[in-house]
Amino acid sequence: MTASGRIPPVPVTLITGFLGAGKTTLLNRLLKDPALSDSIVIVNEFGEIGLDHLFIEARDDGMILMASGCLCCTIRGDLVDTLDDLMKKRDTGKISEFQRIVIETTGLADPAPILQSLLAHPYLAARYALDGVVTLVDAVNGATTLDEHIEAVKQAAVADRLVLTKTDLVTDISVLCARLAALNPSAQLLDAFSGEAEAAQLIGIGAFDVTSKAPNVAGWLNAEAYHDHHHGHAHDHIDHHDGPEGQHAHDVNRHDARIRAFCLTTDDAIPSSAFELFLSLLRSAHGEKLLRMKAIVKLAETPERPIILHGVQHVFHPPVTLSAWPDQDHRTRMVFITKDLDERFVEGLWNAFLGRPGIDTPDRSAMLDNPLSLRRE
């Protein structure tokens, strides 16, 4: 418990990736690290993962004690129910005080509903904090998987860390790396075969456990990566539609062109009422297209105490107010991962609320009178 009497939220690491990407192998290796010895692992079905050699004791409460010291359980019906049940057992002493949750998804999982589950429930949002999304990508089949399965594209787009697996089986990964960098410029790309995907790189990513550590806003937002992306050749990789009959110039990216990653920044302090209205209108008109949003915001009322914010689609986690800026960069930085929502439109909406002209800037008074005018299909 903190000095203010608040119980620190338990950080949650989400491990995702398409079928055959190597989630089992990575999880097995991570669970051997002492950093995860007081963790709980949540998996969808035991039959889908090969953790048998780590199981040492089945318990009456439906959980399994692993040789690593972790407890493992399945999702019993609903993720929200499982997380709620685990916290109640922790609070009543039925299980030890775990310090982290690791959720391993099925390969076909759309990450958005899982992230929403962590953000939408008022009780869970207070007791758990998303600490990072780790997405595995198979270097052998990754390009084909991205071509054929939109779930794989979403998994890569919302990641904080992208882990390439099976790189020892291919001779050239440059094209796949460039594609992933264009799809998600801020995610750190790690090579599992080279030993880069260890607990130290994958745990403690997020900026929300402000009670115990300084927030890693720079690494979490990585706004400069978006600047480099938009001013380098990678930008052309996904946005051009110059092919014949409306096809993309690069067919291998036919799904990626629907998903965009961009960052908006400003030095100006923003009135909280204007910022709240901007988010409210954006969510009401296009919430289903917001795969993920992360931000550090300078409010006019408290310019020396920024807020940290993140959300998925219509659901946003309660903002966290920092006691001071975590680094020398005092700009508002907002990272958006969107599907079928143009960056220029979001930027135009943002410019309208900042009171400055911009390309395709909507009329603010018209928006307030008719929020539906924001919709662009």
Kindly write down the DSSP assignment for every residue of 329-365, as one continuous string. --SEEEEEEEES--HHHHHHHHHHHHT---TTPPPHH
Q: Are 146 and 255 in contact (CB under 8 A)?
A: yes
Q: Are 103 and 11 in contact (CB under 8 A)?
A: no
Per-residue pLDDT of the chain (377 residues; tens, 9 = 90+): 545 556 788 989 999 999 889 887 888 888 888 888 888 888 765 444 445 445 444 455 555 555 555 656 666 557 788 888 889 989 999 888 888 988 888 788 888 878 877 777 788 888 988 888 999 999 999 999 999 888 899 999 989 899 999 999 999 999 999 999 888 888 889 999 999 989 888 988 876 544 445 556 666 676 666 655 554 443 333 233 333 333 333 433 345 778 888 888 899 999 999 999 999 988 888 888 888 888 889 999 999 999 988 888 887 877 888 888 888 889 999 988 888 888 888 888 888 888 776 545 455 454 444 444 444 44
Pairing of strands 290-297, 307-312: antiparallel
Instruction: Specify the pLDDT at position 109.
Output: 81
Instruction: Specify the pLDDT at position 6.
Output: 65
Taking alpha carbons only, the member of 324, 262, 261, 278 closest to residue 298 is 324
**Helices marked H in 121-173 — which ranges?**
122-127, 142-148, 150-157
What is residue 368's three-state secondary structure?
helix
Domains and CATH numbers, the chain: 10-212 (3.40.50.300), 221-239+248-374 (3.30.1220.10)
Instruction: Specify the pLDDT at position 74.
Output: 61
CA distance 300 to 303: 5
Taking alpha carbons only, the member of 361, 337, 349, 359 closest to residue 112 is 337
Instruction: Specify the pLDDT at position 15.
Output: 92
Instruction: Specify the pLDDT at position 301.
Output: 96
